[in-house]
């Protein structure tokens, strides 16, 4: 199994080991083509953060929303692409928040929408 740096070439940000650990923990749940596509989407988000000097492990919700607007308005991605990429980002933060590599709660990924934190009762 090969390891892949998810930081842009030459990037030596503080907390690099924690970020790589967090990315590896998230990507470990995927295999085959699904893992490649998920890694690509996560890499795009981490590159966006690096270009703007944003630490992905200390990100605020507003910064994540700026990423969404960038995908929509600058890159002009289709809504399905934006949704897929945000699913990857949200999954990354859910995984990170359940591991020891995150110092606090992750940002809410529910930009302007009510989040359901528990399933409704069945029946």
* pLDDT 10s digits, 18-40: 899 889 999 999 999 999 999 99
Structural domains counted in the chain: 1
Residue 72 has pLDDT above 70, yes or no: yes
CB 30 within 8 A of CB 71: no
CB 107 within 8 A of CB 61: yes
CB 96 within 8 A of CB 22: yes
**Residue 74 within any structural domain of the chain:** yes
For the chain, give the mean pLDDT: 79
Residue 107 confidence (pLDDT):
56
| Alpha helices for 1-123 (secondary structure H) | 16-27, 32-51, 61-69, 79-97
**Residue 66 within any structural domain of the chain:** yes
Classify residue 85 by its DSSP letter. Answer: H
**Residue 110 within any structural domain of the chain:** no
Domain membership of residue 60 as a residue range: 16-97
């Amino acid at each position: 199994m090969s390891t892949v740096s998810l930081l842009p070439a030459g990037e030596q940000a503080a907390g690099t080991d924690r970020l790589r650990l967090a990315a590896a923990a998230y990507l470990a749940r995927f295999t085959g083509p699904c893992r490649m596509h998920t890694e690509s989407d996560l890499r795009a988000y981490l590159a966006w953060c690096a270009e703007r000097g944003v630490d992905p492990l200390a990100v605020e919700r507003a910064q994540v929303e700026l990423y969404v607007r960038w995908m929509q308005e600058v890159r002009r991605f289709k809504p399905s692409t934006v949704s897929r990429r945000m699913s990857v980002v949200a999954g990354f933060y859910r995984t990170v928040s359940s591991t020891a590599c995150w110092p606090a709660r992750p940002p809410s990924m529910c930009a302007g929408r009510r989040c359901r934190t528990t399933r409704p009762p069945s029946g």
